[in-house]
């Protein structure tokens, strides 16, 4: 939906700990929590969460999951070259502070809808924080204004956070269980997610609950099973997002650079801007081609100039004619030489060509002669031109989808936890993803072809595909299952995909409680030269003892 974003700037600067972020200051010239209209806080919080999801899932996590690769300024995206200065949760807690104010105002004014919305958003953000970092401030977070004993907030263990999330989501489900007309104070224009539709918010709350139960399926399968059964066996009490029309999507407005799709060329006019740096990842392109997947054409452009090998042509033959580039074998041999060339096979696919993960010389991939960083490669697939736009019907932050929910149910059915068959839910998940991307008419042919259900791996692979632009979920699935089978590239910081974000140096310098959280991380064989357990290749509690993904 397109609604005008009303972004409220609170006169309160958030504090997880007094030292960890900033001292609490109240500016009398700005709106404070005591007199703000909760309807103004709703779009502020939703917008913050929505942009965070895209910043992750269309940003560096899309590189981790090899949906995309960059051929300019690519080290964090392609090679996971992160450290303790790379990722910060400061912005996440700022969103949570605004959300805390929303919840408090809703409680003070007896606004059940707004309180339910606030609890759903709180659950979403704390879920991201613990999924990305591990243990984190939770119980005592955002309480610095209550006294100095909260200045250095304690870190809660992950299970405490997940249990808190589930508790809040159950409360939200109850708060949002009334009829639409029974709620006071709803301003549909300010709800930029669902337009004030209470039933859709309720489905969102329960779908998130399902997500976080499945998150612990490898660590604590009995807890996950019990929670999922409780939801699925009571559909009238716990309705879910099962159709794409109920997806939790936030549209981009496209009026300014701050409310536009991040790879747009309307505001980023540089020929080396975000759109031009991004290329389709070869693992995703190859899988979509293998499945004859109609979503590929929605997400990617066809190769502008395919490569054709002229067998038997004289050495040095290299010319373009009728939209194709013809080359002789010696040119291919030089390019493919692992010592003196780029060292990758030429991809002769006439339609779609993706970039291998973490190449060492990506700007020259597939015989490209335009070797400037972020330049258009005529012989590889750019993202679809829709991603040059500032806004559009498909340019949305996808917080939760019917595709994801149905595929979670497929996994639960595969495990024998719920009635129905894995294939039944799998098929529905695929159908809803195709529908969401505007190619639902192709479902019949697609599901009867190579994409037909054949086993457990298909479920996770389809979740990976369906998480396009929201790749964080597929990263969390990969850590839990080891699927899909993605490999780090030669330029990667380590010889394996990362597992978490580093705790940021700001937190380490100011909150002594972070040390106990670091001590509890379990280093893996890929920790490398990280000086402590605070490594992107250390296992948080959620992954310890699961033997996944390595």
The ranges assigned to domains in the chain are 274-388
Query: Is residue 544 scored above 80 in pLDDT?
Result: yes
The phi and psi torsions of 81 (rounded to 5 degrees) equal -80, 65
Higher pLDDT residue, 238 or 3? 238
pLDDT of residue 221: 98
Please name the residues in contact with 432: beta carbons below 8 A apart, sequence gap of 6 or more.
242, 243, 244, 401, 402, 403, 406
Average pLDDT, the chain: 94
Say how far apart CA 254 and CA 268 lie, in whole Å.
12
Enter the pTM of the model. 0.94
pLDDT of residue 34: 65
Say how far apart CA 408 and CA 415 lie, in whole Å.
11
Query: Is residue 23 scored above 80 in pLDDT?
Result: no
479-484: average pLDDT: 98
Two tokens, residue 236 = 């009238």
Res. 33 pLDDT band, cuts 50 70 90? low
pLDDT of residue 226: 98
Res. 72 pLDDT band, cuts 50 70 90? confident
Strand-pairing partners, residue 70, are: 278
The phi and psi torsions of 457 (rounded to 5 degrees) equal -60, -30
Say how far apart CA 389 and CA 260 lie, in whole Å.
8
Query: pLDDT digit string (tens) for 489-527?
Result: 999 999 999 999 999 999 999 999 999 999 999 999 999
Query: pLDDT digit string (tens) for 206-216?
Result: 999 999 999 99
Please name the residues in contact with 310: beta carbons below 8 A apart, sequence gap of 6 or more.
317, 326, 327, 328
Query: Is residue 14 scored above 50 in pLDDT?
Result: no
Query: Is residue 31 scored above 50 in pLDDT?
Result: no
Query: Is residue 24 scored above 60 in pLDDT?
Result: no
Q: How far is CA 206 from CA 227, 239, 309, 390, 461, in A?
A: 11, 7, 54, 32, 23
Higher pLDDT residue, 219 or 26? 219
pLDDT of residue 168: 99
394-414: average pLDDT: 98
Say how far apart CA 164 and CA 172 lie, in whole Å.
12
Instruction: Tell me the percentage of the chain whose pLDDT exceeds 70.
Output: 94
Higher pLDDT residue, 18 or 364? 364
Q: Which of 364-373, 450-459, 472-481 has the lowest mean pLDDT?
A: 364-373
pLDDT of residue 361: 87
Say how far apart CA 439 and CA 436 lie, in whole Å.
8
Query: Is residue 2 scored above 90 in pLDDT?
Result: no
- Among 464, 355, 343, 353, residue whose Cα is nearest residue 77: 355
Question: Are β-strands 324-327 and 396-400 bridged in parallel, bridged antiparallel, or unpaired?
Answer: unpaired
Res. 26 pLDDT band, cuts 50 70 90? very low
Say how far apart CA 351 and CA 410 lie, in whole Å.
33
pLDDT of residue 141: 96
Query: pLDDT digit string (tens) for 318-357?
Result: 999 999 999 999 999 999 999 999 999 999 999 999 999 9
Query: Is residue 35 scored above 80 in pLDDT?
Result: no
Q: CA 112 from chain center: how many Å?
A: 29
302-328: average pLDDT: 98
315-328 burial, b for 16+ CB within 10 Å, e for fewer? eeeeeeeeeebbbb
Res. 164 pLDDT band, cuts 50 70 90? very high
- Full 3-state SS string of 351-364: CCCCECCCCCCHHH
DSSP string across 133-174: TSSEE-TTTT-GGG-GGGSSPPEEPHHHHHHHHHHHHHHHHH
394 with 434: CB under 8 angstroms?
A: no
Res. 7 pLDDT band, cuts 50 70 90? very low
- Among 246, 206, 201, 208, residue whose Cα is nearest residue 1: 246
190-216: average pLDDT: 98
pLDDT of residue 154: 96
Q: Which class for 431: exposed (0-12), middle (13-18), buried (19 or more C-beta within 10 A)?
A: buried
Two tokens, residue 543 = 């992954």
The SS3 assignment for 342 reads coil
* Number of residues assigned to the chain: 550
Two tokens, residue 199 = 């039933």
209-232: average pLDDT: 98
176-202: average pLDDT: 98
Say how far apart CA 121 and CA 363 lie, in whole Å.
40
The SS3 assignment for 539 reads strand
Q: Which of 50-59, 217-226, 367-376 has the lowest mean pLDDT?
A: 367-376
């Amino acid at each position: 939906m397109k609604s005008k974003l009303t972004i409220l700037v609170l006169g309160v600067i958030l504090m997880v700990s007094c030292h960890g972020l900033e001292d609490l200051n109240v500016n009398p010239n700005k709106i404070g929590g005591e007199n703000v209209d909760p309807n103004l806080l709703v779009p502020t919080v939703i917008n913050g969460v929505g942009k965070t999801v895209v910043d992750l899932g269309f940003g560096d996590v899309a590189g981790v999951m090899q949906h995309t690769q960059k051929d300019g300024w690519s080290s964090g995206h392609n090679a996971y070259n992160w450290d303790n200065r790379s990722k910060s949760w400061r912005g996440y807690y700022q969103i949570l502070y605004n959300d805390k104010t929303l919840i408090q105002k809703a409680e003070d004014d007896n606004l059940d809808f707004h309180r339910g919305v606030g609890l759903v958003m709180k659950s979403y953000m704390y879920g991201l924080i613990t999924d990305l970092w591990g243990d984190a401030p939770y119980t005592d977070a955002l309480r610095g204004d209550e006294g100095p004993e909260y200045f250095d907030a304690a870190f809660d263990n992950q299970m405490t956070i997940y249990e808190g999330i589930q508790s809040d989501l159950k409360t939200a489900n109850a708060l949002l269980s009334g009829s639409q007309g029974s709620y006071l104070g709803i301003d549909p224009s300010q709800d930029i997610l669902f337009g004030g539709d209470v039933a859709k918010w309720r489905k969102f709350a329960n779908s998130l609950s399902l997500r976080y139960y499945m998150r612990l399926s490898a660590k604590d399968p009995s807890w996950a099973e019990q929670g999922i059964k409780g939801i699925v066996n009571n559909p009238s009490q716990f309705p879910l997002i099962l159709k794409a029309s109920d997806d939790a999507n936030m549209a981009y407005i496209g009026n300014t650079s701050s409310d536009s799709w991040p790879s747009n060329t309307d505001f980023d006019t540089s020929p080396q801007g975000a759109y031009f740096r991004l290329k389709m990842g070869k693992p995703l392109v190859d899988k979509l081609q293998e499945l004859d997947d109609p979503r590929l054409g929605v997400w990617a452009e066809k190769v502008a100039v395919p490569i054709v090998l002229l067998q038997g042509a004289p050495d040095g033959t290299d010319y373009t004619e009728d939209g194709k580039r013809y080359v002789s074998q010696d040119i291919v041999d030089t390019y493919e030489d692992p010592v003196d060339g780029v060292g990758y096979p030429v991809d002769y696919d006439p339609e779609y060509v993706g970039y291998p993960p973490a190449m060492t010389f990506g700007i020259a991939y597939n015989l490209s002669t335009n070797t400037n960083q972020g330049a258009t490669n005529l012989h590889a697939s750019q993202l679809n031109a829709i991603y040059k736009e500032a806004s559009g019907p498909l340019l949305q932050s996808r917080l939760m989808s019917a595709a994801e929910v149905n595929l979670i149910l497929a996994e639960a059915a595969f495990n024998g936890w719920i009635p129905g068959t894995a294939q039944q839910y799998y098929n529905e998940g695929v159908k809803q993803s195709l529908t969401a991307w505007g190619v639902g008419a192709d479902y019949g042919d697609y599901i009867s072809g190579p994409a037909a259900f054949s086993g457990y791996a298909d479920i996770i692979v389809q979740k990976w595909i369906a998480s396009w632009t929201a790749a964080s979920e597929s990263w969390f699935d990969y850590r839990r299952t080891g699927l899909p089978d993605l490999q780090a590239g030669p330029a990667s910081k380590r010889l394996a995909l990362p597992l978490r974000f580093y705790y940021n140096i700001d937190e380490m310098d100011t909150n002594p409680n972070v040390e106990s959280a670091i001590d509890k991380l379990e280093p893996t064989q890929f920790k490398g030269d990280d000086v402590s357990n605070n490594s992107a290749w250390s296992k948080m509690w959620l992954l310890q003892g699961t033997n996944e993904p390595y």
